Structure 1
Amino acid sequence: MKFKYYYLLILLLFIACNDTKGELVTADENLIVGKWVKIEAYISVGGPQYWVDVENGEEIDFFENGTFFSNRFKECTTGNFSIEENILLLEYTCNGFNPVSENEKGFITYKLDFLSDYFILTPISGPICIEGCSYKYQRKK
């Protein structure tokens, strides 16, 4: 009889601890629509990488029509976006604006890890962090 109670207790603990938050989700344009703010950066200063909080982080607003607004660059704040196989493509549309981080096709590209309550961007185009870097964005409330 004790065995059944232990089995039941272990089963209940497993179910209670099996939280779906933080599960990787295949991202598409519909999932990312909304306002997001950069809250953390994954950096290194020559040693192991670690997360640090970002104060007054970049804000980016993705719209249903495939456009976005971002306060990352003062020279240009708008553009078009798309997601292809978990790669986020940002194309700033201001005349004469050519950020260093864009690729040969004119896109700034990021590997996109979309989780249920936040996403992580890792730069692919432009100057890449030698020791690696990523940025965590959370939906703005």
Structure 2
Amino acid sequence: MKKTVFLSILILGLLSCGSDDRTMETSGLVGQWKLTEAFISAGGPQYWVDVENGEEFTFFENGTFSSNKFSECTTGIFSTDQNGLSLQYDCDGFDPKSENIDGFITFDLELETNYFIVTPTSGPICIEGCSYKYTRR
């Protein structure tokens, strides 16, 4: 009996931690963000450059987003996991040309309080590496 109670408590604890972590990661992204810097290379070492009039994203608590990145499609769904961000635009016939086999545009994600940095992991990958910094608005 004691083993059953202990195992039940342990399993419930593990399950609740996993869902809380995911909610925390996604909720940290909720809000308005603007592309402000790009980490690029012109064949040599990488360096940060300022981006003027960068695209904007708004992430909502219900797992949807809006963006002005593409004029052909401005909405979709998003999800996060441990260190990743996945975007899927929801317009019929829209092809951003950077989706993975499952239809998502994926990135490595470094999420901080007032900014996040993404590095593309699907579609055309920058040969010399590239990352993009979005600042909370």
Provide TM-score, normalisation by structure 1. Answer: 0.79
Provide the identity percentage: 63
- What is the aligned partner in structure 1 of residue 49 from structure 2? 52
In the TM superposition, residue 78 of structure 1 has moved relative to its aligned partner by 0.2
Ranges in structure 2 where 5+ consecutive residues have no aligned partner: 1-21
Which structure has the larger Rg?
1
Residues 23-51 of structure 1, C-alpha deviations (whole Å, 9 max, x = no match): xxx96110000000000000000000000
- What is the aligned partner in structure 1 of residue 127 from structure 2? 130
In the TM superposition, residue 84 of structure 1 has moved relative to its aligned partner by 1.4
Cα distance in 2 between the residues matched to 1:76 and 1:85: 27
Alignment check: 8 A CA contact 2:28 2:113 kept: no
Q: What amino acid does structure 1 have at the position aligned with 2:102?
A: K
> Which has the larger helix fraction?
2
Q: What is the DSSP-based 3-state SS (H/G/I as helix, E as strand, rest coil) of the residue aligned with 1:82?
A: strand
Alignment check: 8 A CA contact 2:85 2:106 kept: yes
Residues 99-122 of structure 1, C-alpha deviations (whole Å, 9 max, x = no match): 110000000000000122211000
- What is the aligned partner in structure 1 of residue 40 from structure 2? 43
2:60 to 49, 58, 63: 63
- What is the aligned partner in structure 2 of residue 120 from structure 1? 117
1:89 to 86, 95, 100: 86
In the TM superposition, residue 80 of structure 1 has moved relative to its aligned partner by 0.2
- What is the aligned partner in structure 1 of residue 31 from structure 2? 34
Corresponding residue pairs, total: 115
- What is the aligned partner in structure 2 of residue 12 from structure 1? none
- What is the aligned partner in structure 2 of residue 11 from structure 1? none
2:72 to 72, 75, 78: 75
Q: What amino acid does structure 2 have at the position aligned with 1:40?
A: E
